[in-house]
């Protein structure tokens, strides 16, 4: 996969399938430790130990439409390619936390890509889910929570096209600012 945001989209789809009502995405850019860390946490139905053991194996899926699940194993492979790792913690009935560490400076670390587009796509299709996206760089941070947006909006739906457009711009501009260290 070419961009980290596409992996994130894919992993968040798992959380949505697991009927999560709250999904938190955290990105920490830690240049001093040479780590680019992506954490995705949900309050969905979770996985039992058997599924958890098998989940990083590319030939395992609970899907019935095709029998190869690739989302997590591909993410893991890509992280490991950069000297990093992928770990999952999950509890049935509580939720799942997936943490991928990429080597910051590694030539094979994909770029983040269109995170503003990814977030607004997710929000537009799942307006009832609370999405939290926090992104930290060494010098700056961006914190986003759809619950806060909804409070501001009052009766206006968060998936109204004009709102999604404004949110996309807001996320895009803020990510630009924190990358510049402003
Ligand atoms: N957040 C989650 N909550 C509960 N179960 C999960 C979660 N993420 C993954 N799983 C379980 O792990 C399996 C493997 O996930 P993975 O994303 O690798 O493949 P998939 O979703 O089955 O197929 P693909 O992502 O290729 O469309 C899923 O089928 C599901 O049973
Ligand atoms: Mg999947």
Residue nearest atom 19 in ligand 1 by C-alpha distance:
69
Q: How many angstroms is it from 180 CA to the middle of ligand 2?
A: 33
19-78 tens-digit pLDDT: 999 999 999 999 999 999 999 999 999 999 988 888 877 666 666 655 456 789 889 999
Q: Which ligand is nearest to the CA of 93?
A: 1
Q: Which residue has the tokens 């510049």?
A: 180
Q: How far apart are CA 171 and CA 164, in angstroms?
A: 10
Percentage with pLDDT > 90 across the chain: 82
pLDDT tens digits for range 142-161: 999 999 999 999 999 999 99
CB-based pocket (< 6 A), ligand 1: 10, 14-15, 18, 42, 44-47, 51, 55, 61-63, 69-73, 96
pLDDT at 112: 97
pLDDT at res. 59: 65
Pairwise CA distance, residues 83 & 104, whole Å: 9
Q: Which residues pair with 97 in a beta bridge?
A: 41, 89
Task: Give the mean model confidence (pLDDT) for residues 130-149.
Answer: 97
Would you state the pLDDT for residue 67? 46
Give the pTM.
0.94
Q: Once rounded to an integer, what is the mean pLDDT over residues 88-97? A: 98
Ligand 1 centroid from CA 123, angstroms: 20
């Amino acid at each position: 996969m070419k961009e980290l945001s596409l992996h994130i989209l894919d992993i968040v789809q798992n959380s949505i399938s697991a009927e999560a009502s709250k999904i938190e995405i955290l990105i920490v850019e830690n240049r001093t430790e040479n780590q680019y860390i992506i954490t995705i946490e949900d309050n969905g139905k979770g996985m039992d130990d058997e599924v958890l053991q098998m989940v990083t194996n590319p030939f395992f899926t609970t899907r019935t439409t095709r029998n190869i699940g690739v989302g997590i194993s591909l993410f893991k492979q890509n992280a490991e390619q950069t000297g990093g790792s992928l770990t999952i913690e999950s509890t049935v009935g509580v939720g799942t936390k997936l943490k991928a560490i990429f080597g910051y400076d590694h030539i094979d670390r994909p770029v983040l890509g269109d995170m503003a587009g990814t977030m607004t796509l997710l929000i537009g299709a799942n307006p009832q889910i609370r999405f939290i996206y926090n992104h930290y760089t060494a010098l700056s941070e961006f914190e986003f929570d759809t619950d806060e947006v909804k409070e501001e909006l009052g009766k206006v739906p968060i998936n109204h096209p004009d709102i999604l457009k404004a949110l996309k711009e807001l996320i895009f501009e803020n990510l630009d600012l924190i990358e510049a260290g402003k």
